[in-house]
Amino acid sequence: MLVIYRSRRPPRPLITLHRYARQRRMTVLVRTALSSAVRLAELVGLPDVRVEPTR
């Protein structure tokens, strides 16, 4: 199952989303205009959270 979370603000609860996804055995997709959020997700390495930039 895939949950989509769209935000123009910094996705602060990445760890919370990761835990939520892991408990439910799903992947969470965060779409944001902030390139820093994409980079942060790469650095932290949350396998159950995908962060994609919006255009």
pLDDT of residue 49: 87
Q: What is the pLDDT along the chain (55 residues), one digit of tens a residue?
A: 555 556 555 455 788 888 888 999 999 888 888 888 788 878 888 888 888 888 7
CA dist 24 and 34 (Å) reads: 27
Q: What is the pLDDT of residue 5?
A: 58
Calpha distance 23→52 (Å, rounded): 22
Distances from the Cα of 5 to the Cα of 9, 29, 41, angstroms: 11, 6, 14
At residue 10, the pLDDT reads 45
| H-run or E-run covering 36 | helix 35-44
pLDDT for 25 equals 92
Residue type present at position 26: M
